[in-house]
Chain A
């Protein structure tokens, strides 16, 4: 029964969204409240139906209902309970259900929260949200139906892709999808603003917080993805410029650009056209990213399904871009700027440059991702541009962005006087220069590493300077230290939340610089009892052990590891063999540390267990990336809170 019931639910939901789009559009045109109310009911109804469909799919997974094709493909009787639930979004069809459900949730929150605040925009916002929902429901009913029946139902399923058997499987996709779907709300407001010609500041004010919420989740998703990659994939890295990573990174970049350029529109009424374009671009990039990851156009480590889904996404993407361009040209006149750029040395121009760099990074990532496709189509040659291309082109741009992170928040609006520059930047520049000299004397010989660390110090100093000034002003007004600091964070939470985000990024910069510049590794083949050494660690191979787990078979390498003569401890990197997989999966063993991680991957071994090859890595400062990521999300959360100004 489940397959038919599920399909029925999705069809009814599709009918409801279609009705909702019609009602919302008519309501927007005629201004009749009854129509808008009807569209609202459609949103509530669709959300309820999607919740039901999602629950039904979870139920099918929990009860091993292999008469549902998707269940049979993505779980089996040996799958542990936990992964039976996460397996629901382990492949395309279930991901779409989760995705659509989240979109329904966002739409519901819009209905509950924004009704009163944006009367004119509201019907159109609903219409856009419902159009996007319609698209996802179309994909789910036509191209990738999650509830297809499999006859006869097999006795056992194929099982989840073993790489997905990880705790990251619950947090990573959920955060990432909440980020991706979250950008639909700002997009809906932007389109509504264009349609109603209310391109002034209302939509920007209403949209900014939605954008930070989406940005917060997308950041979290990217960070968890990096962590997952580091501790599961067994190559010792956290970012590979894989097309799928790039797909999630591009909307993050343009979203970041928007969060900065919004401030110029709020303050100086400039960049209206630019801001609306950034929001549309960000949403389009989320669709493009989904197309990339779900179409199989580009080979990627993420083995996702191919099929007709790609065509659907491409068509929808084309529709979004075309409709947006038409609307933009239609409202061209209203989008002209009122403010004027006065000087190159000003906050406006620092923010503009920041936007330019972020879009430039987006463009190079886009270019590098699709270049192999273009080259093959145009010149007929097969070319790949890998990590070297992205690093070579983007590192200078990233360093520029770090520099602007120090300049932007402190430089004066309109035109910075020499006095303003001296007061705000003399000390940070001096600190950065001294830092560069110290790093050089300490033996750092990579110019890029010295530059990155010096810039980090410079930016940290600007933040320190600003915070200490603001705190002292409050102390003079009679507050004591901690209430003063707390007051800064809570009453000016946008500005200081932003600073906390910047601090997080600085920590990430240090972590990336350190891990790129100072990590070491070696690969050794050891017979039982033999030892190898790397960077003060001493490893002795004690043999192999084999374990039968519930759904796979595991070979465990046993190594006694000591550091500088300390008593040895056991480390056990593994290789896991899954019946449904041709390739064994590496199980990394690691010691995470503040300054460095010891990271072991078991390679080749002989079947008698007397000899094994092990890859030993000492990865430096990687932990700073995770700490920085945590700080960054704290800052973003702070910036989401409503501003509490003094009465």
Chain B
């Protein structure tokens, strides 16, 4: 092997290592709980925050698409704001994971909301009844 090919190969490998390193440091998203986040919040840094949606904390403004709620892990709470509709499984008392960043004003600005799926693929206990009721309300003359 001629030295210049070895050198060229080395340059490419180093460039790749740098790309991956900077990629990971810039776009890896850490998963934290409300306690961990409130202990040392870094404004502007991307996090994934997981917790339970505190009952009574959810507010939804359809016209402005403002969604607000509080996530808790039992010890600490974090206020979350999001612009846009929540996913279908999302609701009070349920688990949720939000992705976004800590705003300097003291709330979590979510860009993505993921409702926690149960691992089991099966009908919920009230699934059938709930959907019948929905159907009746929609089919009623308006």
Interface residues of A (CB under 8 A from B): 158, 161, 303, 341, 344, 349, 353, 356, 360, 363-364, 367-368, 371, 375, 381-386, 388-389, 392-393, 396-397, 523-525, 543-546, 548, 553, 555, 577, 579-584, 603-604, 607-611, 613, 615
Contact = CB atoms under 8 A, between A and B. Distances in A.
Contacts of B5: 341, 344, 349
A389 B88 contact: no
B138 A577 contact: no
Nearest to A582: B124
Nearest to A586: B88
Interface in B11-61: 12, 16, 19-20, 22-24, 26-31, 48, 60
Interface in B74-128: 84-89, 115, 117-118, 121-124, 127-128
B24 A582 contact: no
Nearest to B131: A577
Interface extent on B, as a size class?
35 or more
Given A356-B12, A582-B118, A389 B28 contact: yes
28 contacts: A161-B121, A341-B5, A363-B16, A364-B19, A371-B28, A375-B28, A382-B48, A384-B31, A384-B48, A385-B23, A385-B29, A388-B27, A397-B16, A523-B85, A525-B63, A553-B134, A555-B134, A577-B134, A579-B123, A580-B127, A581-B127, A582-B89, A582-B117, A583-B89, A604-B85, A604-B86, A609-B142, A611-B62
A367 B24 CA distance: 10
A386 B127 contact: no
Contact of A581 (B86, B123, B139): B123
B8 A389 contact: no
Given A546-B138, A548-B135, A583-B89, A385 B28 contact: yes
A303 B121 contact: yes
Q: Give the most central of B26, B29, B117: most A CB within 10 Å.
A: B29
- For the residues of B in contact with A, the DSSP-based class is mixed
B121 A608 contact: no
A356 B9 CA distance: 9
A75 B86 CA distance: 30
Interface of B: 1-2, 4-5, 8-9, 12, 16, 19-20, 22-24, 26-31, 48, 60, 62-63, 65, 84-89, 115, 117-118, 121-124, 127-128, 131, 134-135, 137-139, 142
Which 8 pairs show the lowest CB-CB distances between chains A and B?
A382-B31, A388-B27, A546-B138, A525-B62, A393-B23, A603-B85, A389-B27, A607-B137
A584 B4 contact: no
A344 B65 contact: no
Contacts of A367: 20
Contacts of B31: 381-384
Contacts of A385: 23-24, 27-29
Nearest to B61: A525
A408 to B, nearest CB: 16
Given A385-B27, A525-B63, A579 B127 contact: yes
